Chains A and B, each alone.
Chain A
Amino acid sequence: MKLTGSQILFKALHAEGVDTIFGYPGGSVIDLYDEMYRQEGIQHYLVRHEQGAVHAADGYARATGKTGVCLVTSGPGATNTVTGIANAYADSIPVVILTGQVPTHMIGKDAFQEVDITGITRPCTKHNFLVRTVEDLGRNIREAFHIARSGRPGPVLVDIPKDILQATLEEEKISMAVNLPAEPSRESIDGACAEAISLIKASRRPVIFVGGGILRGKAVSELRTFVDAVNAPVTASLMGLGAFPGTDPRWLGMLGMHGTYYANMAVSHSDLLIAVGVRFDDRVTSKVAEFAPNARIIHIDIDPVSINKIVKAHVSIISDCREALQRLNTMAGGRVLLSEDQTRDWLDQITKWKRAVPLGYCRSDKIKPQCVIEKLYELTKGQAIITTEVGQNQMWAAQFYHFDYPDTFISSGGLGTMGFGLPAAIGAQVAFPDRTVVDIAGDGSIQMNIQELATAVHYNLPVKVVILNNSFLGMVRQWQEMFYGKRYSQTHMKQTLDFVKLAEAFGAVGLRATKPEEVEDVLRKGLETPGVVMMDFQVEPEEQVYPMVSPGAALTDMKLGNLRQEAD
């Protein structure tokens, strides 16, 4: 029997266990959509913009740990995915992007809706393929999935010319065997792990710093065991939130530009920094020369490129985080590496820092955005999956929602993509239809992919959107206030948009709170109302995110606003 390219593609997707696709049809993929009409076992979600498709697949991948899949047509369909691809690349999220392409004989002739998408995405994909023959198709799809999820995960794009979807091939000639060059062999990590253990034993002021690698590498329980053995406080990058319980007494909160005072102080005064699954983003290190100046650094990461890229490691363990932590835990043999006596002074010092400058905010007669997040945390009992947009809303979510569970904080870290949160929430809700999924948004960023509200309503995905509406592009405004003499150039949105009516126009429920006393009721009602709800919280317009490390300054050089409680 002969199969068409479209049928082969579905066969490969089935073989990969794909049951969910986010996509948007068009001329180059019409054969594929025609085949989809007959296929069973795959649910397709029709988004409203191709960027939304990638973000949704990305959110789905982050929430489940599986590989997200999206499908778009050639030309503008493909170029609209680029931001989403770059976003997944920056945060190491496994996503496979299937793009249609004009027929092979038209490539290079500036055909209608032709674009060199493999050329365009080469620097922002882990790998990409232009499928050359129908014989290659099944194999290339399998290879794309293999690459996307192996090692340090990332997006992989497969560009499929229309004639290849239409071509046929005898079933027995279809090969789906992955045929890729072997990855460079790795040195044994035993030596480095033993060195790490001796550094830990010699340390008196250790800090464990974790990132997205713990979540991508599914190393959460190994991390817990390791923290018990080291007896050290734990901080995380934005990408690492949820890797360690946010309510554990050893938790320091986030590190970096908007990290907590005590996390930044602890890292800056530590004598040993154990960095696991991180890449030392500049939002974490700030001034590299003064980052953890007194510390020996143990760096565990799966990507050799991350090692010694920004921060020199004294011991580097190039490995999957889970494997490395398992090895270290085995070497520790269930005993503590550092006793409570040995770290008591250090933990006491950290407690002092925590008391001196806790996270907080001043109440006023206007709604404080931080208060909205705190209430949301209380009402959801910390059980919600939170997605965010980018900017102040994202930082407040990171600071005031205490993430106890992995894969519950879904946010655009590396690329900082406004418009990520809503489609990502849709992806997460698709994966977990019964859980509460909340997009914490600003009034600026929610408008960047607002069209996806239609997708949520279409599929009855009961996503809740919490807009912290300050009528400003708040984070840029904050910089303008702090560093540009309050010249609010093009950051005031003069928000005339009625978000309640907008929600209703989409067929969703819209709610609004304008006073502090309305916050709890609106949140409660919003969370209880079935279906898609958009809540507009009109908040203090000129609220700042504190602490803030000035760009390029040392982590100890923090602007604290009114956070300081007592002299330390």
Chain B
Amino acid sequence: MDIKESVISILASNKPDVLARIAGTFSGRGFNIDSITANITRDPRITKILITTHGDQDTIIKIEKQLNRLVDIHQVTDLTSLGLPLREMMLIRMPMTGENQDKIMEIVDRYRGEVIETGAGYGVLELAGNKEDMDNAFAALEQLGIDDFARTGSITL
């Protein structure tokens, strides 16, 4: 069967062990987590967790069923079929000097990013977009020397 990327959205109680249970459900059954992002919702008692994973349709259904078995989970939704845009964000800190600044700004503009902080000889960039754009932007900036970076997992609506 086709292996595809899926995004699973989970609403869970905001309790210390919920992530451990979810992560354990994946690892204990050999399911893969490609990226995960978690944040509280409008209701601070509820956390929303978005997991990107890959597998065939059967595997995704098995994951959903296993997650539904967890007591602290309120809702599990497979967002994949909705065909919504998958977005992620990254922060990159890199040297910014006269020579490379133009090149950096060109890339930042191309991907609609932003320089959110500058200091002595360095700048911090923020870029958001789909995974492919982010991969491309990262590759282009890497040529110019990245000091440090952090990337969120993918989210969608």
Contacts and interface: CB of A to CB of B under 8 A. Distances in A.
Interface of A: 118-119, 122-123, 126-127, 130, 147, 180-182, 184, 303-305, 307-309
Contacts of A182: 74
Given A304-B65, A305-B65, A126 B71 contact: yes
B74 A305 contact: no
Which of A119, A126, A184 counts the most chain B CB atoms within 10 A? A184
A505 to B, nearest CB: 43
B66 interface: yes
Interface stretch (B13-21, B100-108, B124-132, B134-142): B13-21
B98 interface: no
Given A122-B24, A123-B28, A181-B74, A130 B65 contact: no
B28 to A, nearest CB: 5
A180 B71 CA distance: 7
A127 B62 CA distance: 19
Interface in B54-77: 58, 61-62, 65-66, 68-76
Nearest to A119: B20
Contacts of A122: 17, 20-21, 24
A180 B15 CA distance: 12
Interface in B21-65: 21, 24, 28, 58, 61-62, 65
Contacts of B66: 305
Given A123-B24, A123-B28, A305 B69 contact: yes
A147 B21 contact: no
User: Which of A147, A305, A307, A309 has the most chain B CB atoms inside 10 A of its CB?
Assistant: A305
B39 to A, nearest CB: 18
A481 B24 CA distance: 39
Contact of A181 (B62, B69, B72): B72
B24 A309 contact: no
B71 A303 contact: no
B68 A181 contact: no
A130 B69 CA distance: 19
Contacts, number: 35
Given A122-B21, A305-B65, 8 more contacts: A119-B20, A122-B20, A126-B71, A127-B71, A180-B71, A304-B68, A305-B66, A308-B58
A130 B61 CA distance: 30
A544 to B, nearest CB: 35
Nearest to B21: A122
23 contacts: A119-B20, A122-B17, A122-B20, A122-B21, A123-B24, A126-B71, A127-B71, A180-B71, A181-B71, A181-B73, A181-B74, A184-B68, A184-B75, A184-B76, A304-B65, A305-B62, A305-B65, A305-B66, A305-B69, A307-B65, A308-B58, A308-B61, A309-B62
Contacts of B28: 123
A123 B61 CA distance: 20
A410 B69 CA distance: 26
Contacts of A303: 69
A303 B68 CA distance: 10
A184 B21 CA distance: 18
Contacts of A147: 71
Q: Which 9 A-B pairs have the closest CB atoms?
A: A127-B71, A181-B74, A305-B65, A304-B65, A184-B68, A123-B28, A122-B24, A147-B71, A123-B24
Contacts of B21: 122
A538 B23 CA distance: 50
Contacts of A184: 68, 75-76
Max count, chain B CB within 10 A of own CB: residue among A122, A307, A308: A122
B57 to A, nearest CB: 11
A123 B26 CA distance: 11
Contact of B17 (A130, A305, A307): A130
Contacts of B70: 127
A181 B17 contact: no
A184 B76 CA distance: 9
A181 B13 contact: yes
Contacts of A119: 20
A126 B24 CA distance: 13
A283 B58 CA distance: 23
A11 to B, nearest CB: 23
A270 to B, nearest CB: 25
Nearest to A156: B71
A303 B62 CA distance: 12
Contacts of B72: 127, 181
Contacts of A307: 65
Contacts of A130: 17
A118 B20 CA distance: 11
A308 B56 CA distance: 14
A118 B68 contact: no
